[in-house]
Amino acid sequence: MKRALKELRPYMGYVVLSLIFALFSVIATLFVPIYIGEAVDCIVDKNQVDFNQLYFILKKMALMIVVGAIGQYLMGRCNNFICYGFTKDIRRQAFAKTLKLPLKKIDGASQGDYVSRIITDADALSDGLLLGFNQFFTGILTILGTIVFMMRINVGIALVVVALTPLSFFFAKFVASKTKTYFKAQAISRGDLTEHIREGITQMDLLKSFNYVDENAEEFIRQNDILNDNAFKATFYSSVTNPGTRFINSLIYAGVIVAGSFIALNGGITIGALTTFLGYAREYSKPFNEVTGVVTEMQNAVVCAKRLFDLIDSEEVVDDGTSEIKNPGHIEFKDVFFSYTKENPLIEHLNLEVLPGQRVAIVGPTGAGKTTFINLLMRFYETDQGGIFVDGVNIKDVSRGHLRSNFGMVLQETWLKEDTILNNLKMANPNATMDEIIEATKAAHAHSFIKKMPKGYDTLLQGEGDNLSQGQKQLLCIARLMLAHPPMLILDEATSSIDTRTEMKIQSAFGKIMEGRTTFIVAHRLSTILDADIILYMENGKVLEQGSHKELLKKQGRYAALYNSQFA
CATH number for the domain spanning 525: value is 3.40.50.300
Judge if 345 and 472 occupy the same domain: yes
Residue 358: what are its φ and ψ, rounded to 5°? -75, 155
Specify if 98 maps to a domain. yes
Judge if 377 and 515 occupy the same domain: yes
Judge if 129 and 164 occupy the same domain: yes
Q: Tell me what percent of the residues of the chain surpass a pLDDT of 90.
A: 3
Name the residue with higher pLDDT: 545 or 293. Answer: 545
Specify if 549 maps to a domain. yes
Judge if 465 and 552 occupy the same domain: yes
- Residue 568 pLDDT > 70, yes or no? no
Specify if 24 maps to a domain. no
Specify if 319 maps to a domain. no
pLDDT confidence band for 296 (50 / 70 / 90)? low
Query: pLDDT tens, 205-234?
Result: 778 777 888 888 888 899 899 989 888 888
- Residue 154 pLDDT > 80, yes or no? no
The pLDDT of 257-284, averaged and rounded, is 78
| 302 neighbors 131 (Cβ within 8 angstroms) | no
Judge if 198 and 285 occupy the same domain: yes
* Residue 497, pLDDT score: 63
CATH number at residue 247: 1.20.1560.10
Among 279, 312, 345, the domain-final residue is 312
* Residue 62, pLDDT score: 92
Sign of CA dihedral 176, 179, 181, 187: negative
* Residue 468, pLDDT score: 82
Specify if 54 maps to a domain. no
The pLDDT of 321-325, averaged and rounded, is 81
* Residue 63, pLDDT score: 92
- In terms of average pLDDT, the best of 175-189, 224-238, 463-477 is 224-238
Query: pLDDT tens, 40-59?
Result: 888 766 777 788 888 898 99
Q: What gap in Å lies between CA 397 and CA 48, rounded to an integer? A: 94
pLDDT confidence band for 291 (50 / 70 / 90)? low
Specify if 13 maps to a domain. no
The pLDDT of 297-301, averaged and rounded, is 75
- The span from the first CA to the last CA of the chain, in angstroms, equals 69
| 127 neighbors 293 (Cβ within 8 angstroms) | no
CA nearest neighbour of 305 among 130, 117, 136: 117
Judge if 342 and 308 occupy the same domain: no
Sign of CA dihedral 531, 533, 535, 541: negative
Judge if 425 and 460 occupy the same domain: yes
The pLDDT of 138-163, averaged and rounded, is 80
The pLDDT of 283-301, averaged and rounded, is 71
The parent domain of residue 202 ranges over 90-312
* Residue 349, pLDDT score: 84
The conformational region for residue 492 under phi > 0 = left, psi -120 to 50 = alpha, else beta, is beta
Judge if 397 and 468 occupy the same domain: yes
The conformational region for residue 49 under phi > 0 = left, psi -120 to 50 = alpha, else beta, is beta
Pairing mode, strands 534-539 and 542-547: antiparallel
Judge if 534 and 428 occupy the same domain: yes
Judge if 265 and 367 occupy the same domain: no
Judge if 440 and 366 occupy the same domain: yes
The CB density around residue 285, as the number of other CB atoms within 10 Å, is 25
Instruction: Please tell me the number of Cα atoms within 13 Å of 440 on its side-chain side.
Output: 23
pLDDT confidence band for 180 (50 / 70 / 90)? confident
Pairing mode, strands 488-492 and 407-410: parallel
Specify if 25 maps to a domain. no
Q: How many domains is the chain built from?
A: 2
Quick check: helix, strand or coil at residue 102? Answer: coil
Q: Tell me what percent of the residues of the chain surpass a pLDDT of 70.
A: 94
Specify if 529 maps to a domain. yes
* Residue 73, pLDDT score: 92
Element spanning 132, H or E: helix 122-153
Q: What gap in Å lies between CA 248 and CA 246, rounded to an integer? A: 5
The pLDDT of 157-170, averaged and rounded, is 74
| 489 neighbors 519 (Cβ within 8 angstroms) | yes
Q: What gap in Å lies between CA 276 and CA 39, rounded to an integer? A: 10
- Residue 479 pLDDT > 80, yes or no? yes
- Residue 66 pLDDT > 90, yes or no? yes
Judge if 205 and 283 occupy the same domain: yes
* Residue 289, pLDDT score: 64
